[in-house]
Amino acid sequence: MIKKNQILELKSLFSKASLYTKESIYIIVNAEKMNKDSANTMLKFLEEPDGDVIGFFITNERDNIIPTISSRCQLIEADFTNEIYEKYNITLEKYEILKSILNEYVYKLEVENNNSILYNKQYIKDLDKNDEKILLQIMLDIYKDALNNKYLKKEMDKNYEYLNNYSFINLKKKVNLLIELLKEISYNINTDLLFDRLVIEIEAINNENL
Domains of the chain: 4-70 (3.40.50.300), 81-207 (1.20.272)
pLDDT of residue 119: 59
The pLDDT tens digits of the residues spanning 153-177 come to: 777 777 788 888 899 999 999 999 9
pLDDT of residue 141: 93
What 147-155 contacts at long range (C-beta under 8 Å, 24+ apart), as own/partner pairs, is 147/171, 147/172, 147/175
* pTM strictly above 0.75: no
Say yes or no to pLDDT of 58 above 80.
Answer: yes
User: What are 56's strand-pairing partners?
Assistant: 27
pLDDT of residue 104: 83
For range 118-146, the mean pLDDT: 83
Q: What percent of the chain has pLDDT over 70?
A: 90
Contact 114, 108 (CB under 8 A): yes
Contact 26, 53 (CB under 8 A): yes
Range in 10-14, 34-38, 179-183 with the lowest mean pLDDT: 10-14
pLDDT of residue 159: 79
**Max mean pLDDT range (36-45, 150-159, 171-180):** 171-180
Q: How many CB atoms lie within 10 A of CB 184?
A: 13
